[in-house]
A and B are shown apart, each in its own frame.
Chain A
């Protein structure tokens, strides 16, 4: 079945450092890919999405490109801030699917 694998955390960075969180997926057909963010004590918020190969999703300085050849959707940000500290989830939704399939989440901690 469909699955998502993302890098284990926690990821600890200093403010203004470059961020990469790796995400790879296994799915049949052409799924849509998502990054969700969960701030402490809150629910999940959609950060960005991409719905077809080579699409780039972007929001709040974060970017991710849908790479079908490598089945990847890595999250990047050029300069992280303390306020970016959160748990990040990569997810996919298949063509025939109803549910989102989530990775296990990566905790990011940014210090000043």
Chain B
């Protein structure tokens, strides 16, 4: 299994509070991704990173920011959490953006915003 961990695994927070989710990899892969999984939507890309300090937006980036100061860590921040951000968040990594190159997923973080 690819070495990807996410923390915390579960979090309950209140509307308006800041939340930071962490993804840590031991594979030294260049590319890292944050997805959210919601019923009826599959997984949708929030943000991705193509190197240290290099990030870009995905399909559903509003309300989220990311940072990558080291190859192994990719942080997802909700500056002011809303109930619509209740979801399961998955981090993924890949060696390249070549289409044949699969992505490996972490175990997920279940976030509940009350």
Query: Using a CB–CB distance below 8 Å, which chain A residues touch chain B?
Result: 4, 30-32, 34, 36, 42-46, 49, 51, 89, 93-95, 97-100, 102-105
Contact residue range for chain B? Answer: 20 to 34
Provide 6 A-B residue pairs closer than 8 Å at the C-beta atoms, listed in order of the A residue: A31-B99, A43-B108, A100-B45, A100-B92, A100-B103, A104-B41
Known: A51-B99, A93-B101. 19 other contacts (CB 8 A): A4-B42, A32-B99, A32-B100, A42-B107, A43-B90, A49-B100, A93-B99, A94-B99, A97-B99, A98-B48, A98-B56, A99-B45, A99-B48, A99-B58, A99-B59, A100-B92, A102-B42, A102-B44, A104-B40
Query: Using a CB–CB distance below 8 Å, which chain B residues touch chain A?
Result: 31, 33, 40-45, 48, 50, 56, 58-59, 90, 92, 97, 99-108
Name the 4 nearest CB pairs between A and B, nearest first: A102-B42, A51-B100, A99-B45, A43-B105
Complex Cα gap A34–B100 (Å): 9
- List of B residues within 8 angstroms of A34 by Cβ: 102
Complex Cα gap A89–B41 (Å): 11
- List of B residues within 8 angstroms of A31 by Cβ: 99
- List of B residues within 8 angstroms of A103 by Cβ: 42
A104 B99 Cβ-Cβ under 8 A: no
Main secondary structure on A side of the interface with B:
loop
A102 B43 Cβ-Cβ under 8 A: yes
B21 to chain A, nearest CB (A): 14
| Cross-chain contact of A44 among B40, B48, B56, B90 (Cβ < 8 A) | B90
| Cross-chain contact of A104 among B42, B102, B105 (Cβ < 8 A) | B42
- List of B residues within 8 angstroms of A95 by Cβ: 99
Complex Cα gap A94–B30 (Å): 18
A99 B102 Cβ-Cβ under 8 A: no
B43 A100 Cβ-Cβ under 8 A: yes
Complex Cα gap A47–B106 (Å): 15
